[in-house]
Chains A and B, each alone.
Chain A
C-alpha cells in the first residue's frame, strides 16, 4: 500500500534529512513538503494526506498547535511530532493530541517504527 506523507519543518535541511530517510525505508511513498503551519493546512485540504510528520519548534504556529488544528479536520490521522526537545511537557502534550513523538536527530529505526505503526492503523481503518 502506498501512502501520501506530509513533512512539515521550517528547516529545509531537516526536510532533506527526512526525505532521504524515506528514500531508504519507504521509497514508494509519496512525499509532500510544507515549511510552516499555513502551508501544511493548505496541503492537507488540497491533497489527500495519509500521515503527517510535524516539527515542533517553528516560527509562528508551533508543531503542537498545528497538530491540534490537524486533529479538528482529521481526528484519527497518524501524526508524529518530530523534535529534539524531549521535555516531559512536550511529550505529554503530544500524547494528549493522540500523536507519536519521534526524536531528532532522526534515525531510520525511529522513523520506521512510527511508519509501521501508522500503516497498520491505516489498514485497520480503511
Chain B
C-alpha cells in the first residue's frame, strides 16, 4: 500500500516516529482535557510517499468525506499539521467538547469555530513539543477548516515547491466510549525533508555525546 522511496535511514525514521509520538501524546492529553474521556493512540507511522498515497492512507477505513483542521508551520523545516476525521463524526466531536446540554442547532452553529479552536489546541500541543524537542522555533499559522476527500486535503498549495513526494507521518486516535476516531498527520515536502534530516542528525549526535 505504501510507496516508501527510501531517503530516510532506520534511525531517522525511528527518531521522527518517536518525536511525533511525543508530540501527539501531548496533544492527546490536551484533547482528553477537552472531551473528558480517555483518548487512545496508535503507534506512529512514518513514510515518504506520493501525495496520492498519502490521500489513500487518509481515507483507509474511513468514508472519503473528511473534515480537517490544518495549520501550517514554518521554521527550519515547514509543512502542515492536520487533525482529520470523517465528516460524519465532526458534530459528535464538537458535542463531546461543548457538552451534551447544547441543542443540535447550537452545535451546528458552533461547529466551524469549535473545530478550529480544538484543532488549534491539539496541533499546537503537538508542534510545540516537536519544536522543543528539536530545540528549534516554529511559527504556526491560524487554523483553518477544510472539507473534502484525501486528495483535496493533501493537494499542493500555491506556495508548495514542485514535487510530488511528501514525508507523511500519522497517528490514529479514538475517543474511548464515544464514536469518534480520526488521526493527526504531519505533511512535509522534499526540501523540508532535507532540512529535517539535518536537524534530526544533530539531535541524534547530541544524544551520543
Contact = CB atoms under 8 A, between A and B. Distances in A.
A14 B43 contact: no
Contacts of A88: 32, 38
Interface in B1-52: 10-11, 14-15, 17-19, 21-23, 25-26, 28-29, 32, 38-39, 41, 43
B133 interface: yes
Contacts of A87: 28-29, 32, 38-39
Interface in A76-110: 83-90, 104-105
Contacts of B41: 57, 85
Interface residues of B, number: 26
A20 B208 contact: yes
Nearest to B19: A13
Given A83-B25, A87-B39, 11 more contacts: A11-B14, A11-B21, A57-B21, A57-B43, A59-B43, A84-B21, A86-B29, A88-B32, A89-B32, A89-B38, A104-B25
Contacts of A83: 25
A96 B26 CA distance: 22
Interface in A9-60: 10-14, 16-17, 20, 56-59
B155 interface: no
Interface of A: 10-14, 16-17, 20, 56-59, 83-90, 104-105
A56 to B, nearest CB: 8
A16 B22 contact: no
Interface of B: 10-11, 14-15, 17-19, 21-23, 25-26, 28-29, 32, 38-39, 41, 43, 129, 132-133, 204, 207-209
A7 to B, nearest CB: 14
A71 to B, nearest CB: 21
Given A11-B18, A13-B14, A57-B43, A84 B32 contact: no
A105 B133 contact: yes
B132 A105 contact: yes
Contact of B22 (A10, A58, A59, A105): A105
A111 B176 CA distance: 30
A56 B42 CA distance: 11
B129 A84 contact: yes
B11 A84 contact: no
Contact of A13 (B38, B43, B207, B209): B207
Contact of A58 (B15, B23, B32, B43): B43
Nearest to B132: A105
